[in-house]
Structure 1
């Protein structure tokens, strides 16, 4: 994976301005850049630099914006915001999608054996692992979109929840 030094994020900026009811001038002040630069980024005539993106995420605890920025800067490694025409942006719909994808991933985990060393598996077993990974990725995308919607509707910050959970994860030995 490649973390980009800059990315085209005009759509993300436009959505941020709409949801936060902010002007280009206000974003320029918040990001400590010129209004012209915001205009160029917004209209996709210029890329946003990584340092500005990092600052903007810290300033605006907006889950859609954060997901959009991370998705673009991570070369699409992180979860996208699901905005397709068949995805309703409602917590109960996203919950149903997440449940379905989690169940499919769990079923795939049950059916794939990881006991053999990777160097000893045949092509069919490799396809099974790949299929399991696909289901896990799809579950992750739907979980991330459900979390995004929960933050939007319940005003509970994902970042605040992560910060609150970090000490527990350290105690459990999950992170250093």
Structure 2
């Protein structure tokens, strides 16, 4: 994965300004850029540069959806997008139910797919099954990520603090070097 040098962040900036009740001027002040540049970001007339994106993540780290939007854009889609579509109910119980359903579908697919064969000798059909399993895992991950963002926002529980707290446990299990 390559972090892009710049990214179009119009939707992310617009959502942040609306959610936080901020003006372009306030964001410009926070990021030490011109109000006009914030307007350009907002309307996707200019991409946000990587250094400004990093600064924005540090400044607005209390808004997990904004951080998620920026990470998604700067990673070229490697991280999960924030689900805001028309068909998504954005209440925590609905997101939790969707995450649970997607996790169950992913677990079912894991049970169906056999990974015993070395990758070099898998058939086209087996590879297609593995791709289908990966799709289910990615969908589950996306709903898990969206649920975590929502929980962080609504309950004011830091994702980063949770990860930092878990790292010693992961190290003790030998999962991290």
* Class of the TM-score when normalised by the shorter of the 2 chains: over 0.9
Task: Return 5+ residue gaps in structure 1 as ranges.
Answer: none
TM-superposed CA distance for 1:170, in Å, is 2.3
1:33-44 counterparts in 2 under 5 A?
A: 33-44=33-44
1:50-106 deviation line (CA, Å, top 9, x unaligned)? 111111111112111011111111111111111111110011101111111101111
TM-score, scaled relative to structure 1: 0.94
| Equivalent in the alignment of 1:10 | 10
C-alpha distance after superposition, 1:115-171 (max 9, x if no partner): 110111111111111111010000001101111111121111212212222222222
2:28 aligned residue: 28
Higher mean C-alpha deviation, range 160-169 or range 132-141? 160-169
Q: State the 1:16 CA deviation.
A: 0.8
The equivalent residue for 2:121 is 120
In structure 2, what is the Cα distance between the partners aligned to 1:130 and 1:45? 36
**What residue in structure 2 maps to residue 138 of structure 1?**
139
CA RMSD across the alignment = 1.3
* Residue 92 (1) aligns with residue 128 (2): no
| 2-structure distance, mates of 1:33, 1:156 | 30
Deviation by residue 1:15-52 (Cα, 9 ceiling, x = unmatched): 11111222222211211222221122122211100111
Is 1:48–2:48 an aligned residue pair?
yes
SS state at 1:163 partner: helix
Any stretches of 5+ residues in structure 2 without a counterpart? Answer: none
The 2-side partners of 1:85 and 1:133 are apart by 25
Alignment-derived partner of residue 66 in structure 1: 67
Partner of 2:102: 101
TM-score with structure 2 length normalisation? 0.94
